[in-house]
Structure 1
Amino acid sequence: MHNLLPGSFVFWKKKRFVVEDLVGFDEVIVRRDTGTKKFVAPVSEVTQVAEAKSSRFIHAENADQWRDAVDVFRLLRPLLEKESHCKTAADVDAVAKQLGLSRSTVYNYIAQWKASEKLSTFMRKERTDKGSVRLMPAVVKILEEVIQDFYATAERPSPTATYDEIKYRCTKANLPAPGKTTVVKFLDRQSKRKMHAKRYGTREARHKYEPIHGHFPGADFPLAVVQIDHTPMDMIVLDENREPWMRPILTIVIDVCTRMLLGFCITMEKPGHLNCALALVHGMLPKDEFIKKHNLTQPWPIHGKPRKVFVDNAKEFRGSALKRGCEQHDIILENRPKGLPQYAGHVERAFRSFMQALHRIPGTTFSNTIQKAKYDSKKRAIMTLEECEEWFTIFITYRYHHKLHSETGYPPIKLYQRYILGDDEVPGIGLPAPMPNADTLLWDFLQPFERVISPMGVEIDCIHYFDNVLRPWVNAVDPEDRKRNRKFIFTRDPRDISRIRFYDPDLREHFFIPYRDRTRPPISIWELEAVKRELKLDPNRQVDEAVLFEGYERMRNREDASAKATTKERQNRSRRKTAQKLASQRPAHDPHSPSEQPSNPSLQGNDWADKADDVPDFDIETM
């Protein structure tokens, strides 16, 4: 996928269009690729046309040429939009002067654009043999061997000594020796950082070739690099009965270039792969409906697939779920290196800015016991989890994104706008392309399971699932080992394990598989684990599906009957309501239909949108 720029091909209302222009963050002007009539299309409704992999402009090495092509297009655009009889030689000469080209070249550009209407028309053509060395394969092999075992060593021989060694080995092998200039060019083609590391050491290479401390490498445009992390929020939230509960966990995804908050998730669960998935998916999807859902008017325009996600070394970031989801969507997942200051701090400083605002809300726990002193956080708590999430949404969209950042010199949303739409100094990179299959995107980042399909269906954690779509695969044989049964890939949402997602390798399609016994109530994985712990106390009871759900019913009745439930029991009640809510939102008539669009837990109730001015002021720390 590529950013939406003038000249991009998109699908809208099942028809193919060409993007003519961008209208802010939310809309694009398009026209049919076979006509001239123009329309205004919401960005959230368009999808990109799949480009051939051979398209010249999609390769990373041509990024500079692509930007140059965009600049050429912008200068040529007034001429391209004029009818032929309206273009004068003076008009063409004026544009040619701006581009530093001849009049004939500009006319050629116009003709090529009319033929293809692709921005790649304006890209510089490269020689196909550029950088190649025309030598016999045996000579090339000698060059490569000498570079690896002679030049790239701690003794650091000079290029002249390297040339002498190559000439010696070629003579010994009765091969014509290449000229010294050819050898020098061959050396220049090697990775300078790799050669420096082998000759001078890794630390010296890092110091020489990595960016200066204080700048995050690669974070040169929006969504180039994002950071994700968790922290307990400095406040106590109330349960649904407005009794003091506990501190929620905040997970954020921050865009390093602009400091925009890409997405977030607030839960009562300890940090894990689900928190990461919810926050990352919330960031990747457009937030128009999310904002409307809470009756807010301030836009939250950032969305799209990040190129690289930096995480710390905690175990929840090392799991297979996040890694698998990133691989599936061509996102680079990297751990934050230790001891390198340019990689650290952005997300932590953002947390400090966010917590600073929370310290002015009743129920805050402050940052430490000295600040808290004798303040009774539980007694003064005023917000439920849903209200806390809604407050945080208002805080981000109305305050944080519009506050001047001392490091960048711009409010995050203004810097984002500058990079996306461009200005007199910076050409815009275009709007991020909407994510395809948004309704099921979350499932790509959930924990995968491999299971055999038996006549009883699929068993995961003592619970059976079945649907007719599994019948062709019952007791299927592994094609690579005929003595074993074939294993298939399943995923599940920990918040509601009443269904799992199955990938059919023949149809290359996903299907949702419900409980085999569909009378069972929807439950979460945490409730299931709690029931298992209870049942372990009785060693005489054999754990099976019927016993598990019987134990679940008993625990639920006990919690509902408690006048003042414990924190754990209240958490179980909250989990149960979440599972029931997710189950009720899915289409009842079609168990294979896509899941509901993932988003942060619902932020309902209250009139926070009318109280945006009550969100406390704060300072953004230097990042």
Structure 2
Amino acid sequence: MGQRSDDPPGDPRWSAAARLATQLDRILERFPPHSEARAAAIDDLAARLRRTPQTIRSYLRKYGKRRLVRDLLRDDSGRGPRLPPETEGIVKAILDEKHLTPEGCSLNEAMIVINGRLEQAGLKPVSFNTVKNRLWKHWTAEEVARRRGDRTAARKHRRRGGALVPDYPLQVCQIDETEIDVLAVDDAGNLLRRLWVIVLVDVLTHMILGFWLWPRSANREAIGLCLQHAIRPKGAYFQKFGIEATDVFGRPERIISDRAAWYKSLQDNRSLEDLRVVVEPRRGEPHIRGVVERLQGSINQQLRKGRGQTGRSVADRGDYPAAKRACLTYEQIETAVAITAFRICNGEMDEKTRKRPDLEWAKHACRIPEHLLTVDWEAVQLAFLPERACRLSSKGIPAFGLTYWEDENPRLAELYANRGRDSLRIKVNRNDVSHIYVRHPLWESWVAVPRADGLLTPLTAWELEAQKERERAEAETSWMERGKSREMVDAALTPTAGTGRKPRVSRKAASEAVAARVAGDAPKPHAAEMALNRLKTSGDGLGRLPVVDDCFDVEPWGKA
């Protein structure tokens, strides 16, 4: 019940011990020792006090000898503090630095950091309860609420039933999307919409195969990019972010999803059937066993430590100014998600299942069919690209405000003969507008068509739109200048005072008079030669020729 034996009667601990003594007196007086009735009474008291029956029996042994309240307050274990001072200092410092901040991590994450520091210092690791007890030992509830922004506890998730038992990895996967719990900004500091993360998880090994961070709400195109990221080897991707993790890749055979519109649109898709990928939206409970949702929660748990975190809900966020403190860019968040997915989720043991996903993947990798590991990722990309119909013009195929065509391609030459007549099926990729894909009706295949202007540098649709905006900004004339130009035109078209139409002069004569005036004002190309000629003919009006000694023979002009 406590640590001291000299508690005054007015102390709250003394009052609690007195109430407990009253309950123990009833048990000691009414029920004989070692009887079933006493055991039932002990269990009932333990349930009401939220303690174990062993604790109640310990109280009975202490209190039953002398029936004194002080015996319930006495701590005769003789045990000193469990943690050494070095451990106490590390625990307190980590809690103060990592947990008690507006973007503070959870106690479980703080425990991981604490044990990492303790292991580096050669000290014994601590348990979760130890960390929790030290939190309430060093800080009060008011201080914790003030420093963490008065964040409330998260609501309980509903229970999900069912089971999926695959025979080998990549046989059954789960996919889901969610908004991340942190706000992002662009390079100029402008606040963006909340980013979405789409995660594809292998059910057997709980391995995250791939993800995609999307700056808009999830759609079919983003799902294709996520699946493409899962299929491709990730050696270069890990090198980009400086990650050392298990390279996992392959084509899933069956994908379990919820009933979102972008998943239902993938049912009975011809391109996915060619790839032998089956998307199965489930009714009712969206996910069996909730594997992907737990991993999404782990990703968001790490991201909530960043500035601009939105919390798990409005109540969880409280008064925290997420929009004002947001400073993370898309690239920084992508790096954090990649590290969390491939190092934390894939490389750390699950405390409940006591399994580590990357080791489970290595254990069952020999059972994966070979055709699931050798996949053309471009074919996967084509399967998810949006499709529409258009007509071929004399210049080419219009898309994104550009023209796509290649004169040297013999396949396209066959289509040019029927331009403007038959509709063509095209697929566009907003992540790379340097090419589009045209379905050739005779070859029954997709043909890549480059831009007609010859610019083949990879460019996204958003970068193209930003480039157009910059060009408009550079060439745009201000409203003031445009208005001034039109006012000048209006002034030029306004007749001056005293001028008007003279009906006595014919239109032909008036036109000739204006032409003569305009011709007189026009520059003369040989004005210098004409001025010299006027100097030669000045004086008596006759030009003076230079005197020369040359003689010329006179030729007869008549007939001989």
Task: Give the TM-score, by structure 2 length.
Answer: 0.50
| Structure number with bigger Rg | 2
Flag the structure with more relative contact order, 1 or 2, with Cα contacts below 8 A and sequence separation at least 6: 1
| Larger strand fraction of residues | 1
